Amino acid sequence: MQLLAQIRQRFAPVLKALLTSVESNGTAPSLETLLGMIRPAQNAQFGDYQANFAMPLAKPLGMKPAEIAQQVSATVDLQGLCSEVSVAGPGFINLKLADDFLCQQANRAFGDSTSLPLDQAGLIKVDRLGVSAPNSRENIVVDFSSPNVAKPMHVGHIRSTVIGDSLAKVCRYLGHQVITDNHLGDWGTQFGMIIYGFRNFGNEAAYRAAPVPELSRIYRYVRRLMDCLEKLRDLPKWEQALGTAKERVATCQQELTALEPTSDKAAQKAARKNLADAQLQVSELEELIHKAQQQLRQAAQDESFSRDLVEHAHLHEAVLAETSKLHAGAPENLQLWHEILPHCHDEIDRVYQRLNVEFDHCLGESFYHDRLAPLVALLKRQGLVRESEGAQCVFLDQFDAPMIVQKRDGAFLYATTDLATIQYRVEHWKPNRVLYVVDHRQSEHFDKLFAVAQKMGHEQVQLVHVSFGTVMGNDGKPFKTREGDTVGLEGLIDDAVAKALEVVAKLDEAKDGGPEFTAEQRQAIAETVGVGALKYGDLSQNRTSDYRFDFNQMVALEGNTATYLQYSFARVNGIFSKAETTPEAIRSNQAAIRLTNDAERTLLLALIRFQDALEEVLVDYRPNLLCNYLFELTQEFFRFYNRADCRVVGAEPDVQASRLAMCDLMARTIKTGLALLGIKVVGKM
Ligand code: ARG
């Protein structure tokens, strides 16, 4: 149920009437702005909702805010919705929902167990809980996860995967037609690396025995060679730069010394700043050189690696050549690519399975290869491309650099594929919106892409870059292993599950009647709790900021964690066992919920805000708002649960039934909310 929208709707005619009276001078805020100023109250003391629109209306209406507030609250029709309307302070309108209305809405949600699918195949189903269909049903494409395959998935892939999955689920739950698409990087330079590496450094037997580890070994080996070759190429340049930087330090030092006897403070300050800048440059270069030398020394100790460095000095060019040959359709490269690709799919599918993430489509970059030349031809026909230094470019007013769609050597680019992808999606799926869940470093790419798409005539589809920040380690730097490698996603899942197992075991051991789970049961619970913790740890962060990865915090039983929410769900199950009844039995008693005290009231108010919370998520594509909602709901639940006057089991029969119904609605809301975040619950913990 849309609660906030209902309240706003009641105020709309009154505000509209007020606005007509000032329309001529055009200084009044819009109706939408005013309605947007009706919000849930920050402090329960002031009621359930609060409206502040009287202040910005004061000037245009030539009245005091308090008078406006009085006038509006006297005329607005809140029949059946609110029991109290009052004006406070300089002109705030405070609203209290009617208890009857609260119960009626809670009973509606409680009685609505129509099941809604969260995936296209209909494998994951949740209760509708009174959530209504959207005013306009849209076709929404969600492009997410989209790793570059042939290299292991790492921590960087988790954000796109879980944020995208959750947004797709929320859109679907709210009634939109959703298509998820994993735009795999399955056609890039990494295949040139693998193809070259396979032929030159591959181990046939190892590949036959276990293809994926061997492919990833080859990838890493070629990557390391390329890194070292790059260092060998750059070191002399850096050393030269260091020499220049040191000279600059000496000059700055002299300048400062010369200025010291004078009284020119400003010049001294400037000279000191110059010196500090120069010294910083020196230390940065020294660090760069030191690291590179260390890496090269290490390489020198490995005899065969050193030999390969010499023998494959032109590795970079060779890799590009193999990639071009693949794109040009050279049979030997294409065959190898076809041979390798299924293994790459197996590799990522294993991770997706563990994370319970599925896609409707996995149309990778290779899928669009044949559409690239026609796309560039179309751009030419549309008069959008211009040749510049041999490359085909689309120039855009808002940007200094153009978008290159074909390089001088004929190669197409990431951007070309993305344009072809938009065309394909528009043609086949007719989306109203496409969400690209991709990290913030690609902002400029998407800004340009969207601008070009618009020029091509795709104005009707709303293209959105849902960007996100970096996952940081405890040191506040991008999360890396101790060796400086990116952190593998599979290992991370294992670690999260191991941490969760500790929590599960501790809870189990502390039980009054002694532990109740077998080792297998504990392991199964830990898998759900661990994966949930990992996902929630990410989803509960503001997506645009970087966040620090912290296992202990993620699986904590107290705080804004999946573990806490899962625990509350299990607690409700415990209450039902204690009451020796089942949710099904309570559900057959349709209008069970009624109010006897304020803790129940606060819980119900939180429960009936579920749809509002979900709609908030879609305003700016922020799953963390759903996390916040679920966390607050759970806190309200425990407040209710721990209150002496809210005893569930053992209360008067109809009060017990009502409270059990509240518990059931709470558990189903948590279960559904978590499912929308891609997280499962456990019956017992
Ligand atoms: N494969 C790309 C990468 O890893 C992300 C692709 C995102 N989606 C898109 N349509 N460009 O950087």
Same domain as 209, residue 163: no
- pLDDT tier at 151, thresholds 50, 70, 90: confident
Q: How far apart are CA 645 and CA 557, in angstroms?
A: 25
Q: For residue 544, how far is its CA from the centre of ligand 1 (angstroms)?
A: 17
pLDDT digits (tens, 9 = 90+) for 552-606: 899 898 899 999 999 999 999 999 999 999 999 998 876 689 999 999 999 999 9
Same domain as 536, residue 592: yes
Ligand 1 nearest atom to the CA of residue 188, by list position = 1
Q: Is residue 108 part of a domain?
A: no
Q: How far apart are CA 587 and CA 593, in angstroms?
A: 10
* Number of domains forming the structure of the chain: 4
Residue 121 has pLDDT above 90, yes or no: no
Q: Looking at residue 391, which CATH number applies to its domain?
A: 3.40.50.620
Q: Which of 161, 179, 365, 442 to mutate to test the pocket of ligand 1 (most atoms within 8 A of CB)?
A: 442
Q: Looking at residue 537, which CATH number applies to its domain?
A: 1.10.730.10
Q: Is residue 361 part of a domain?
A: no
The CA–CA distances, whole Å, from 131 to 5, 116, 593, 605 equal: 13, 10, 18, 15
Q: For residue 11, how far is its CA from the centre of ligand 1 (angstroms)?
A: 45
Q: For residue 184, how far is its CA from the centre of ligand 1 (angstroms)?
A: 7
Same domain as 308, residue 173: no
- With CA atoms as reference, report the closest residue to 167 among 134, 176, 126, 607: 176
Average pLDDT over residues 113-139: 90
Of 468, 497, 518, which residue constitutes the final position of a domain?
468
Ligand 1 nearest atom to the CA of residue 439, by list position = 12
pTM: 0.91
Q: For residue 388, how far is its CA from the centre of ligand 1 (angstroms)?
A: 26
Q: For residue 431, how far is its CA from the centre of ligand 1 (angstroms)?
A: 19
Average pLDDT over residues 472-496: 85
Q: For residue 487, how far is its CA from the centre of ligand 1 (angstroms)?
A: 19
Same domain as 605, residue 501: yes
pLDDT digits (tens, 9 = 90+) for 428-468: 999 999 999 999 999 999 999 999 999 999 999 999 999 99
Q: How far apart are CA 48 and CA 633, in angstroms?
A: 15
pLDDT digits (tens, 9 = 90+) for 7-35: 999 999 999 999 888 765 567 889 999 99
What is the pLDDT, as a whole number, of residue 26? 64
What is the pLDDT, as a whole number, of residue 476? 85
Q: Facing residues of 615 across strands?
A: none
Share of the chain above pLDDT 90, in %: 85
Q: Is residue 251 part of a domain?
A: yes
Q: Is residue 401 part of a domain?
A: yes
Contacts 24+ apart (CB under 8 A), 603-606: 603/636, 603/637, 603/639, 603/640, 603/662, 603/666, 604/102, 604/103, 604/106, 604/662, 605/48, 605/97, 605/102, 606/632, 606/633, 606/636
Q: Which tokens sit at 383?
A: 């008069």
Q: Which residue has the CA at smallest separation from atom 6 of ligand 1?
A: 146
What is the pLDDT, as a whole number, of residue 133? 84
Residue 244 has pLDDT above 80, yes or no: yes
Q: What does DSSP say about strands 385-388 and 177-181: parallel, antiparallel, or unpaired?
A: unpaired
- With CA atoms as reference, report the closest residue to 161 among 182, 178, 140, 141: 182
Same domain as 556, residue 422: no
pLDDT digits (tens, 9 = 90+) for 499-518: 999 999 999 999 999 999 99
Q: For residue 438, how far is its CA from the centre of ligand 1 (angstroms)?
A: 7
- With CA atoms as reference, report the closest residue to 368 among 434, 420, 329, 429: 420
Range of the domain at 62: 3-97
In a 13 Å sphere around the CA of 165, the CA atoms on its Cβ side amount to 25
> Do 406 and 412 contact (CB within 8 A), yes or no?
yes
Q: Is residue 592 part of a domain?
A: yes
Q: Which of 362, 438, 463 to mutate to test the pocket of ligand 1 (most atoms within 8 A of CB)?
A: 438
Average pLDDT over residues 399-423: 95
Same domain as 534, residue 410: no
Torsions phi, psi for 220 (to 5 deg) = -65, -35
- DSSP-assigned letters across all residues of 174-189: TT-EEEEE---B-SSH
Ligand 1 nearest atom to the CA of residue 446, by list position = 11
Q: How far apart are CA 200 and CA 421, in angstroms?
A: 34
Q: For residue 437, how far is its CA from the centre of ligand 1 (angstroms)?
A: 9
Q: Which tokens sit at 107?
A: 């009973």
Q: Which of 149, 159, 183 to mutate to test the pocket of ligand 1 (most atoms within 8 A of CB)?
A: 183
pLDDT digits (tens, 9 = 90+) for 634-659: 999 999 999 989 999 999 999 999 99
Residue 529 has pLDDT above 70, yes or no: yes
Of 437, 468, 499, which residue constitutes the final position of a domain?
468
- With CA atoms as reference, report the closest residue to 554 among 568, 544, 566, 545: 566
Query: In sequence order, which residues have a C-beta less than 8 Å from that of residue 310 and are 6 or more positions away?
Result: none
Same domain as 647, residue 516: yes
Q: For residue 681, how far is its CA from the centre of ligand 1 (angstroms)?
A: 31
Q: What does DSSP say about strands 391-394 and 115-117: parallel, antiparallel, or unpaired?
A: unpaired
Same domain as 459, residue 524: no
Same domain as 665, residue 536: yes
Q: Which tokens sit at 5?
A: 């929208």
Q: Is residue 139 part of a domain?
A: yes
Same domain as 510, residue 658: yes
Average pLDDT over residues 374-403: 96
What is residue 605's three-state secondary structure? helix
Q: How far apart are CA 600 and CA 655, in angstroms?
A: 11
Average pLDDT over residues 375-384: 97
- Provide the sign of the torsion angle of the four alpha carbons 538, 540, 544, 549, taken in this order: negative
Q: Is residue 318 part of a domain?
A: yes
Q: Which tokens sit at 440?
A: 């913030």
Helical H runs in 260-302?
265-301
Strand order in the sheet with 403-406: 385-388, 391-394, 403-406
Q: Which residue has the CA at smallest separation from atom 11 of ligand 1?
A: 418
What is the pLDDT, as a whole number, of residue 590? 64
Q: How far is CA 561 from the centre of its chain?
A: 16
Same domain as 634, residue 521: yes
Q: Which tokens sit at 468?
A: 């996100």
Share of the chain above pLDDT 70, in %: 99
Residue 405 has pLDDT above 80, yes or no: yes
What is the pLDDT, as a whole number, of residue 25? 58
Average pLDDT over residues 534-540: 97
Ligand 1 nearest atom to the CA of residue 445, by list position = 11
Q: For residue 433, how far is its CA from the centre of ligand 1 (angstroms)?
A: 17
Pocket of ligand 1 (CB under 6 A): 143, 146-148, 183, 185, 418, 421, 436, 438
Helical H runs in 356-488?
369-381, 414-429, 443-455
What is the pLDDT, as a whole number, of residue 528? 97
Residue 173 has pLDDT above 90, yes or no: yes
Same domain as 375, residue 317: no
Q: Looking at residue 19, which CATH number applies to its domain?
A: 3.30.1360.70
Of 97, 122, 139, which residue constitutes the final position of a domain?
97
Q: Facing residues of 87 across strands?
A: 93
Give the containing element (helix H, strand E) for 435: strand 433-437
Q: Is residue 668 part of a domain?
A: yes
Q: Which residue type occupies 358? A: E
